[in-house]
Amino acid sequence: MKLDRWVKATFLAAGMLTANGAVLADSLQEIQQKGKIRIAIAGEIPYGYVDLDGQAKGVGPDVARHVVKQLGIEDIEWKTTRFGSLIPGLRANRFDMIAAEMAILPQRCEHVDFSQPNSSYGEGLLVAKGNPHGVHSYEHFAKHEATVAIVAGADQLETLQALGVPQSRMMTLSSNSDAISTVATNRATAYAATASTVRQLAAKSDKVEAVEDFSDPVVNGQEVRSWGAFTFAPGSDLGVAFDAELAKFKQTPEWVNIMKRHGFSPADIQASFEKTREQLCAE
């Protein structure tokens, strides 16, 4: 028997794996008894990141702090990892939940549980100051010999592929913190990310800017928009309890203020109520 099969068989015998192969997550009661919850973020502004003082910031952490406090959990251990490592880390029980505003996608729903949407956001492009290459859309990269950078594991990959952008014109970054230098030094013509991320990055350097006259991508006749949520291990009762408290919090001015503070427009805020997890997982 190969080692990986032996490990899986051992975990199964001990009751430590779920039916789909994930390591069993700690229950809500176990987390409450410990008084500490491990929450992962991916260093992505404005969704979840750590500032220069080592403090977790962003819409995900700010909302998560309120909700887990309502669940009787006071202490949060923040875990920063690459975006592409979030789901594998969650399934391996390296953390209890993800607060990265990860988009709810059908293929992700097969491996993790999502809360109902907490946010909604459109797309954007970060370019060098003055937009010297005249880029205004994702479609540009399907028609011209130019390179677009994306973060590993981000859903911009699928959008670009659907628009006919070849892999040879895409550059993968491990973190969006690399985007400014990548675009400013012309290693990539542009960086594709959500509009909120692009605006936040543009504000950090005078060498780059957000494309203001950006044309939203249209795939299969639909404008591309994402719905971000909190992410939990399959079958997690923590996720069920968190979801109930999140629904209450979204009805308060405090939640609205958090969204506005992190750059979400009134249209983004309203859109977060327009689709459910069940609809998004079935699309």
- The pLDDT, as a whole number, for residue 270 is 94
Reported as a single tens digit per residue, the pLDDT across 25-72 is 899 999 999 999 999 999 888 999 998 888 999 999 999 999 999 999
The domain 3-120+226-282 having CATH identifier 2.60.40.10: the answer here is: no
- The pLDDT, as a whole number, for residue 154 is 86
Question: Tens of pLDDT along the chain (283 residues)?
Answer: 333 443 344 343 334 555 566 678 899 999 999 999 999 999 888 999 998 888 999 999 999 999 999 999 999 999 999 999 999 999 999 999 999 999 999 999 999 999 999 999 999 999 999 999 999 999 999 999 999 999 988 889 999 999 999 999 999 998 888 999 999 999 999 999 999 899 889 999 999 999 988 988 999 898 899 999 999 999 999 999 999 999 999 999 999 999 999 988 888 999 999 999 999 999 8
- The pLDDT, as a whole number, for residue 6 is 36
Residue 41 corresponds to which tokens in the numbers above?
């973020």
Q: What are the residues whose beta carbons fall under 8 Å from the beta carbon of 148, sequence distance 6 or more?
A: 125, 138, 141, 160, 165, 169, 170, 171, 188, 189, 190, 191, 192
Please name the fold of domain 123-223: D-Maltodextrin-Binding Protein; domain 2 (3.40.190)
What length is written for the chain?
Answer: 283
Same fold, 3-120+226-282 and 123-223: yes
- Where along the chain do its domains lie? 3-120+226-282, 123-223
- The pLDDT, as a whole number, for residue 17 is 53
- Asked whether the bond before 46 is cis by omega within 30 degrees of 0, the reply is yes
- The pLDDT, as a whole number, for residue 45 is 86
- The pLDDT, as a whole number, for residue 43 is 87
- The pLDDT, as a whole number, for residue 33 is 95
Reported as a single tens digit per residue, the pLDDT across 264-281 is 888 899 999 999 999 999
d(CA 193, CA 149): 9
Backbone angles phi, psi at 127, to 5 degrees: -135, 170
Taking 3-state DSSP, the helix, strand and coil percentages for the chain, each rounded to the nearest 5, stand at 40, 25, 40
d(CA 180, CA 196): 15
- The pLDDT, as a whole number, for residue 2 is 38
Tell me how far apart the terminal alpha carbons of the chain are, to the nearest angstrom.
39
Cα-based distances in Å from 205 to 179, 180, 216: 11, 7, 24
